Amino acid sequence: MSAAPERIAAGVYWVDAVGLKNAIGVLLLENDDGWTLVDTGMASSVERIRNALAALGSGPVDLKRIFITHQHEDHTGGLKGLLEWAPGVEVGATAHEAEVISGRRGLDPSSNALFRRISSSAEPAGVPVGKVLREGDVVSGFRIIATPGHTLGHVSLLRDEDGLLFTADAFARLPIAGVRVGGTKAFCTDPPLAKRSAEKLLGERFATVAMSHGSVLREDARTKLLRAVERCRY
């Protein structure tokens, strides 16, 4: 049974993509013409995302666009299945990520030798990206902020009107470990760059923080991100 989408702000819903609370989340953004999905979770997430849209009174014709924050499988795994369900959807990403997602270049390697070996057979999603965006462009009211390091083209999203920040994997809120820069060092292609990107986000004006991994930060969100950066030794 899929959990109902969680409304985290006006027109913004956080969807549990794998059935483990706060493990992997994607966003549904409401538009005048339908919905924008930010990231797609794993291949197994397709049904959960479809059910979330159904709970919001929508179907495949209402999903208009998918924006991918970065290339990792827990963000692109559901892309093929969703396009089979809603073939008219426009897929967007930044230039570097678009090249990887489409299969024109390989996945960015992990900074960790063991993780590189484990993932040596991993392949990109192999899905064409129809809309290439860049920093400063707007996705359904959210401004794109380049936050490379986790991957080389990783981005976060900020809705300036109400200070809602979606960090994707620039930050993650992990069990026991708490808020961490880039999730973990091993998952980052360039950990020092990931830390600089986290510091860059602290220069933005925001009030509420949503992440791909972990629950929404509403109280003292800036302080919690700042402490994560201060603890970071990348």
For the stretch 190-233, pLDDT in tens is 999 999 999 999 999 999 999 999 999 999 999 999 999 999 99
The encoded tokens of residue 68 equal 């991918």
Tell me, what's the pLDDT at 177? Answer: 85
Closest by Cα among 229, 109, 114, 208 to 163: 208
Superfamily per CATH, domain 6-231: Ribonuclease Z/Hydroxyacylglutathione hydrolase-like (3.60.15.10)
Mean pLDDT score, 127-131: 97
Q: What is the pLDDT of residues 66-123, one digit of tens each?
A: 999 999 999 999 999 999 999 999 999 999 999 999 999 999 999 999 989 988 889 9
* pLDDT at residue 176, as a whole number: 83
* Predicted local distance difference test score (pLDDT) of residue 137: 98
Q: How confident is the model at residue 2 (pLDDT cuts 50, 70, 90)?
A: low
Every domain of the chain and the residues it spans: 6-231
